[in-house]
């Protein structure tokens, strides 16, 4: 990944972190265990499904592009 994409990714992740923090229950962010559980829960419920959909679409695109058979 080039430097420009790394910076863009970092910016997007910081924005995501802000959104997830705003949606978190403040009473559960009082200790490391609560923070870890909250982050894990948000990743499993909100982030991972979107990444899985992206990867699923990429895989389907790759399968739909079939190489042509040579007539040799």
- Work out how many domains the chain is built from and give that number: 1
2-45 pLDDT per residue, tens: 999 999 999 999 999 999 999 999 999 999 999 999 999 999 99
- Confidence at residue 42, expressed as pLDDT on a 0 to 100 scale: 96
Does pLDDT of 70 surpass 70? no
Question: Taking residues 55-66, what's their average pLDDT?
Answer: 69
Residue 41 in contact with residue 23, Cβ under 8 Å?
Answer: no
Q: Is residue 30 part of a domain?
A: yes
Domain residues for 55? 26-60
Q: Is residue 70 part of a domain?
A: no
Question: Taking residues 45-57, what's their average pLDDT?
Answer: 84
Q: Is residue 55 part of a domain?
A: yes
CA-closest candidate to residue 47, choices 16, 70, 8? 16
Q: Is residue 68 part of a domain?
A: no
- Confidence at residue 11, expressed as pLDDT on a 0 to 100 scale: 97
Q: Is residue 43 part of a domain?
A: yes
Q: Is residue 19 part of a domain?
A: no
């Amino acid at each position: 990944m080039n430097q420009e994409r790394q910076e863009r990714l970092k910016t997007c992740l910081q924005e995501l972190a802000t959104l997830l923090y705003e949606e978190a229950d403040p009473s559960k962010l009082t200790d490391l265990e609560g923070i870890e559980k909250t982050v894990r829960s948000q990743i499993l419920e909100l982030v991972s499904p979107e990444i899985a959909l992206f990867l699923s679409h990429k895989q389907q695109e790759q399968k739909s592009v079939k190489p042509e058979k040579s007539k040799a």
